[in-house]
């Protein structure tokens, strides 16, 4: 099973689904805005392709939608890297016509978005529809999608919609994920427990006892006491590379803004991923996020005077040096 809703279960396809899969993909009414109807051999090959896809990408794919009360195969749901729009994750669905108009589309799309955003930590998804498929477009808009510029595919001009995961930040190569209290607690356990639960690349990550104690004694209690989303100034922000789905860096703030609107940032790149510009890109994203916060006016950073890699990060993001104490340099950037 991939995910479930109150009335639906979404699971991987199996060879036992062949008859229903053929009936679904050969149905002209269902396939009207999707693809040409398939004959038996085409449906068989297509089913095999989808099942094989799971081996390389178990968290993505095209899946069966099952009605819980009847255990019937009633439709299909898809979440996978787009073959049409490079760097995008595409979402889609379809149902047998006898299940139209019963709210299943909104239900499965809502559940699929929750799976994509909370389980896979995906920053955004796209949906593509035929211009005449007005019903599907209404569903997308109802589920919070925004219409973007049209997408040209061969001779067709298709409608494109996007839904952003407001909890995350996204750059060209990265997704920045601020951890909630339970997520941070799990992350501190190390041993790839966090990575396994969120379908991320595993690397036998460890957490030092000093860091674990500091977070348990200071950061987590402050996060629990924080009002609204102020916990974001106490938690870890994980930096995840999209292509590998691996954690490549961590960054965060050392508390909320003071009376002058100043916050201090700290960061570190995983040793095996240094020298690839990830931290420069991530700090740039967090600066843009800080600009949207009315209480933040300045971001500070502290570096060792001989740490050229860390200094390059702040210099490339236009921080300016303003203070030196011993071997430590202090940097500042205005965000207002």
Using alpha carbons only, give the angle 159, 160, 163 rounded to the nearest 5 degrees. Answer: 145
Tens-place pLDDT, residues 207-257: 899 999 999 999 999 999 998 889 999 999 999 999 888 999 999 999 999
* Six-digit token string for 274: 């240094």
Helices H, strands E: what count in the chain?
11, 17
CATH architecture observed for domain 169-334 = 3-Layer(aba) Sandwich (3.40)
Instruction: Decide: 284 and 317 in contact? Cβ < 8 Å.
Output: yes
Tokens 């890699």 -> residue: 309
Contacts of 226 by beta carbon, 8 Å cutoff, 6+ apart: 233, 234
Distance CA 21, CA 208 (A): 50
Other C-beta atoms closer than 10 Å to the C-beta of 190 total 16
Alpha helices in 190-292 (DSSP H): 193-197, 209-214, 220-225, 278-291
Is there a common fold for 3-164 and 169-334? yes
Q: Considering the entire predicted model, what is its pTM?
A: 0.79
User: What is the per-residue pLDDT for 80?
Assistant: 94
User: What is the per-residue pLDDT for 7?
Assistant: 97
**Domain parsing of the chain, residue ranges:** 3-164, 169-334
Helix (H) or strand (E) holding 321: strand 320-325
* Six-digit token string for 137: 């477009």
Helix (H) or strand (E) holding 208: none
Helix (H) or strand (E) holding 330: strand 328-334
Listing DSSP states for 106-148 in one string gives HHHHHHHHHIIIIIS--SEEEEEE-TT-HHHHHHHHHTT-EE-
Q: What share of the chain is helix, strand, coil (3-state, %, to 5)?
A: 35, 30, 35
Distance CA 168, CA 316 (A): 23
Other C-beta atoms closer than 10 Å to the C-beta of 336 total 10
* Six-digit token string for 228: 């609204």
Alpha helices in 3-160 (DSSP H): 18-25, 28-31, 40-56, 104-114, 134-142
Residue segments in the chain with a per-residue pLDDT below the cut of 50: none
Other C-beta atoms closer than 10 Å to the C-beta of 318 total 11
User: What is the per-residue pLDDT for 88?
Assistant: 86
Tokens 């104490």 -> residue: 325
Spell out a b/e string for 44-62, using b for 16 or more CB atoms within 10 Å of the CB, else e: eebbeebbebeeeeebbbb
How far apart, in Å, do the first and last CA atoms of the chain sit? 47
Question: 3-164 belongs to which homologous superfamily?
Answer: Gcn5-related N-acetyltransferase (GNAT) (3.40.630.30)
* Six-digit token string for 52: 């094989």
């Amino acid at each position: 099973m991939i995910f479930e809703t109150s009335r639906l279960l979404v699971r991987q396809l199996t060879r036992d689904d062949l008859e229903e899969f053929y009936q679904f993909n050969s149905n002209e009414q269902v396939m009207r805005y999707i693809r040409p109807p398939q004959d038996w051999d085409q449906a068989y090959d297509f089913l095999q392709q989808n099942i094989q896809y799971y081996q390389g990408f178990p968290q993505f794919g095209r899946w069966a939608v099952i009605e819980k009360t009847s255990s019937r195969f009633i439709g299909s749901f898809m979440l996978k890297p787009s073959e049409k729009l490079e760097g995008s994750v595409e979402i889609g669905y379809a149902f047998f016509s006898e299940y139209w108009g019963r709210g299943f589309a909104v239900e499965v799309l809502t559940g699929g978005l929750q799976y994509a955003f909370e389980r896979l930590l995906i920053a955004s998804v796209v949906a593509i529809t035929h211009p005449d498929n007005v019903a599907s477009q209404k569903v997308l808009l109802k589920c919070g999608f925004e219409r973007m510029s049209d997408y040209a595919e061969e001779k067709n001009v298709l409608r494109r919609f996007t839904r952003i995961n407001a909890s995350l930040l996204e750059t060209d190569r990265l997704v920045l994920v601020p951890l909630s209290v339970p997520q941070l607690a799990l992350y501190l356990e190390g041993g790839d427990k966090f990575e396994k639960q969120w379908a991320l690349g595993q690397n036998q990550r460890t957490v030092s006892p000093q860091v674990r104690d500091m977070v348990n004694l200071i950061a987590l209690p402050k996060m629990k006491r924080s009002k609204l989303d102020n916990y974001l100034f106490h938690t870890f922000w994980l930096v995840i590379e999209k292509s590998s789905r691996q954690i490549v860096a961590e960054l965060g703030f050392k508390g909320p803004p003071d009376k002058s609107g100043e916050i201090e940032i700290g960061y570190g790149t995983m040793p095996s991923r240094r020298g690839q510009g990830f931290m420069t890109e991530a700090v740039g994203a967090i600066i843009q996020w800080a600009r949207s916060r009315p209480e933040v006016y300045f971001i500070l950073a502290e570096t060792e005077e001989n740490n050229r890699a860390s200094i390059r990060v702040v210099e490339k993001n236009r921080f300016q040096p303003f203070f030196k104490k011993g071997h430590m340099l202090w940097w500042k950037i205005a965000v207002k």
